[in-house]
Each structure stands twice: as structure tokens, then as C-alpha cells.
Amino acid sequence: MTSKKASKAKFLSEDLNDLLNVSQFLKDSPTKKKVPKRQRTEISEEEGIAKLIGQYQTNSKKKKLEVNVEACKESRQKILNVMSNQLETRKEKCDNLLKNLSEVMTQLEADSNAMKDNEKKLEHLTAAVVKCMQQASTAHKQKLKALKDIYASFKKQCEEMEFDHKTETDKLAEELEDDIRKLQQKLISETKRSGWENLRRTIFHAMQNDF
């Protein structure tokens, strides 16, 4: 690619030099110079030859210039084709990139919306769970309080019942002691009386036997 560019530049520079030479030739041509009338007849043949040579060179330069212009047109068209292909390729790549980015952004937006919905659902669910926990805790506290009240009432009743039973037992023990004491006194009294009766009968029998 570099060699082609160098050859084209060299080719153009040669064309420019040729054009300059032609212009210089035309400038220095005998047709342009003012010569004395006395010399015009002497160099008429030379002027004719020079003119023919100049016309030939001019035609050759024109053909060469046309060839160069055509080559430049072809090169320009090639460059335009390459640039057009590059523009189309870049446009295609940009369109694909923009399409992919749009799809990614759409997906990200959908994911973000889904996450927001899930966040709201989770908040509602969390609030419901917290409410259930609070209700369960309140019910548990109420049950615990009821059990404590039942325990305190039962304990108080047991203590009162134990006190009443102890009082009744002490009273019953005192009554039993009194009854046992009375029974003992009665038995002692009856034993004494029975003994005196037996002793009296024995004495009486003995007295009857002696007499």
C-alpha cells in the first residue's frame, strides 16, 4: 500500500514537472520571443521544426495528463468506495452496538422493576411476619399472665387450705386429748370402783366363811 502511494506521488510529481517544462518551453519558444525581422527568414525552418516538436510534446503531455487524470479519478473512486465501505461497516457496528446496549438497558430496567416489586412484596411479607410475631408474643404474654394468676391463686388457696387443715387438726388433737383424758379418768374411776367392789365381796365372802 505504501509503495503504491509512493509511485502515485512520484507519478504526479513527474506530471507536474512535465507541465512546468511545457510552460517553460512555451515561454522560451521562438514564437513567443520577439526577434529582429532580419533574422526571421534565417530561422524559419528551425521555427517550423521547433513548432512541430512543441505540438508533438504538447499532445503527448495532454495525453499523459489525461491518463493521469483518469488514474486520479480511478484512485479517487477506489478511495471513495473504501471510505463508503468503512462508513457502512462503522454504521453497522454502531447500529449493532446501540441495539445491544438498548437490549441490555431494557433488560436491566426490567430487572430493576422486578427487584422493586420483589422489594415491595418482601416489605409486605416482612410486615405481615412482624405483625404475626407481635400477635403471637401478645397471646403468649396473655397466656403466661393467666398461668401466673392461676399459679398465684392456687398457691394462695393451698396455703389457706393448709392453714385451715392445720387449725382443724390442732383443734381435733386437743379434742382427742380431752376425750382420752376423760376416758382415762373414767376408766380409772371404774377400775377403782370395780376394785373396791371386788374387795368388798371378797371380804364379805371371807366373813361369811368364818362365821
| 44: confidence class by pLDDT, cuts 50, 70, 90 | low
Integer Cα distance of 91 and 66 in angstroms? 36
Residue 91's identity, in one-letter code, is K
pTM: 0.38
Name every residue whose Cβ is closer than 8 Å to that of residue 163 and which is 6 or more positions away in sequence: none
- 15-23, Cβ contacts within 8 angstroms, sequence gap of 24 or more: 15/64, 15/65, 15/68, 18/61, 18/64, 19/61, 19/65, 22/57, 22/58, 22/61
As a whole number, the mean pLDDT across the chain is: 76
Q: Report the pLDDT value the prediction gives residue 144, as an integer from 0 to 100.
A: 94
User: Which of 6-10, 30-34, 67-71, 150-154 has the highest mean predicted lDDT (pLDDT)?
Assistant: 150-154
Integer Cα distance of 94 and 157 in angstroms? 92
Q: Report the pLDDT value the prediction gives residue 128, as an integer from 0 to 100.
A: 92
Element (H, E) at 31: none
Which DSSP string corresponds to 36-61? -HHHHTTTHHHHHHHHHHHHHHHHHH
| 136: confidence class by pLDDT, cuts 50, 70, 90 | very high
Mean of pLDDT values over 151-176? 91
Angle subtended at Cα 145 by Cα 139 and Cα 149, rounded to the nearest 5 degrees: 145
Mean of pLDDT values over 100-119? 94
Sign, CA dihedral 121-127-129-132, equals negative
Integer Cα distance of 31 and 50 in angstroms? 9
